[in-house]
Structure 1
Amino acid sequence: MSGSLAPDTATNALEALRARTTVVADSGDFETIRAYRPTDATTNPSLVLQAAGDTRYRHLVDEALAATPSGGLSRVERLMTLFGRELTQVVPRYVSTEVDARLSFDTDATIRKARALIADYGELGVAPDRILIKIASTWAGIRAASVLEAEGIACNMTLIFSLAQAQACFEAGVTLISPFVGRITDWYKKAEGVDHYAPEDDPGVASVRRINAYAKTHGYPTQVMAASFRNREQILALAGADLMTISPALLEELAGLPQADTPGITDTDSDVPRLMLDRGAFDWAMNADAMATEKLAEGIRRFADDQRALEQQMAG
């Protein structure tokens, strides 16, 4: 729980949300982040690709192009750590930085890349305790995170679409997971031919509530950060989650709303017994969940495409 205002003294819906949930900015734009005062921020190829085309950040692109990164990092990865360095001056807690999505099925390569990113941050004067290494929640990625966490490198496991993924991350001892609310909803809208779900019927909202309840019932310290929101109703329905990463457009919308009267997350009891998944059980659970399988693969492809686009932009 985060925030200095009690919900009944909040001036708008965003302040009321901050009183219950740590707010993270889903943006690479420093000015936007300053305006909404989130606790954490993130960099990934998608966000950096958007920001790198802004003339305000040209000096970071130039700095990355002039650099000779060590540890096998590319100039694109140096650009992400440069953005991350700047973000640590804007937010008080974590900045997440993503491992190249093309390594999502290679445990050893993910570990090496994560170590190199942390080392690069060190060269830029950023302490490792300010950084979360962001890794796709494949079996290989979760195994890499288990090793990294044991070394003191905190991880943010992204592209979570199922309880099986979340459970494997909890057992790996990761710092934070990011279940993707809106992408789950998108899949079910298409599959069921539905235009809109009320919050209580929204499959994305239900998935995060289920994951959150499981974590709390079984005493896992891993934090749950809801991500990928499509509308403010989804956000308000999940008020009380550990964290939420929210786009600038939705932050602005919440800031312009009066305090919302919504229960958010009220039930933190899970009827799912503690699961112990080995590789076979994990693979079968994912195979049985068409939505999770499809959205995980699609998410990895999207991040990889943006990484390639950023590489081409830097090369040109």
Structure 2
Amino acid sequence: MPNQLDQLKAHSIVVADTGDFASIKEYQPQDATTNPSLILKAAGMKEYGDMVDGVIAQARGDAGSTEAFLAEAMDKLFVAFGVEILKIVPGRVSTEVDARLSFDVQGSVDKARRLIELYERAGVDRERVLIKLAGTWEGIVAAKVLAKEGIRCNMTLLFSFAQAVACAEAGVQLISPFVGRIMDWYKKHEGRDGYAPQDDPGVHSVTRIYNYYKKHGYPTEVMGASFRNAGEILELAGCDLLTISPDLLRELHDGQGTLERKLSPESAQSLGEEKLSLDEKAFRWMLNEDQMATEKLSDGIRLFAADAVKLERMILDKG
């Protein structure tokens, strides 16, 4: 019998949630996704030292001020990892816009264009790149602008139904609901040690979004993310995509037993909710009414921004 990872690949596109090339090669996912935290971790690994040093040296030669140098080095470092990842995976790589631009529409658009420009200079077609933007109202507006230019976006830090509805209406390519971080919040606020996979609040959130999209024919892809255990992943078998850390990829690879598909477009027709339409005021109010999503979105932006600052410090130390 095939292992659970191979069975999962029959129902969902498996995406590696890492910047580590070796892990990507080992588990052969279709796509890969990165973020500032993952790039910070990978950039500190000895085996990537020469590549990182080379990128920083080139950025130093191309930029003048410290601010310009850091911006250039960060962009080129993110793209350098992405280019190498695309030599391994047959599909797409997700590269994140600086979280400090999460409330800046034009800044996000400009940064996305710059990242795509660097990829295209490296010979990578823009169709193989997903630009990651935070699921703020400003991020969603930026994604709508970029979609008209053929720049596809992956909306990250997504915790609420309001965010999912607005992303679908904006015609974004893909959303990444954060399963594990949703569960973390409920564990803390309900004073629980954990949940059975079928009762997991993060699993319920992604299932609701998936069914809504499929019932109403939205082409936006749903990619479950931020998993804390393999049980969450198995409960979402059939979701369009699932981005999984190396540790959990290993656990699924070693796992035996029959995997059951849990989500499908057919079942969504009877389970999906009535269609909503959200303008900015309705979006902000609906998100505000969701305490978990409001807190986790804010927290996620701060954490990614903090890791971006740490990466800048590392670049300055090396440059």
TM > 0.5: yes
Partner of 1:272: 273
Change (3 A) 1:271 1:123: closer
Local SS of the residue matching 1:74? helix
In 2, Cα distance between equivalents of 1:150 and 1:273: 27
The 5 Å alignment of 1:80-229 reads: 80-229=78-227
| 1:23 corresponds to which of 1, 14, 36 | 14
Local SS of the residue matching 2:154? strand
TM-score normalised over the length of structure 2? 0.93
Q: Deviations along 1:138-176, whole A, 9 cap, x unmatched? A: 000000000000110000000111111001000110110
- State the superposition RMSD in angstroms: 1.3
Partner of 1:50: 41
In 1, Cα distance between equivalents of 2:290 and 2:113: 32
Contact in 1 for aligned 2:93/2:129 (Cα 8 Å): yes
Gaps of 5+ in 1: 1-9
In 2, Cα distance between equivalents of 1:152 and 1:190: 41
Local SS of the residue matching 1:135? strand
Q: Residue 263 of structure 1: CA displacement?
A: 4.2
Q: Deviations along 1:153-210, whole A, 9 cap, x unmatched? A: 0000001111110010001101100000000011011111111211221110000000
Partner of 1:246: 244
Figure out how many residues of one structure are paired with residues of the other and give that number.
306
| 1:232 corresponds to which of 227, 230, 245 | 230
TM-score normalised over the length of structure 1? 0.94
Change (3 A) 1:178 1:133: same
Identity %: 55
Local SS of the residue matching 2:133? strand
| 1:262 corresponds to which of 257, 260, 263 | 260
Q: Deviations along 1:87-139, whole A, 9 cap, x unmatched? A: 11010111000000000000011000000110011122222111000000000
Query: What amino acid sits opposite 1:23 in the alignment?
Result: V
Structure whose residues are more often helix by fraction: 2
4+ runs of 1 displaced by more than 3 Å? 259-263
Query: What amino acid sits opposite 1:137 in the alignment?
Result: G
Change (3 A) 1:46 1:129: same
Query: What amino acid sits opposite 1:254 in the alignment?
Result: L
Change (3 A) 1:268 1:250: same
In 2, Cα distance between equivalents of 1:170 and 1:37: 29
In 2, Cα distance between equivalents of 1:261 and 1:172: 34
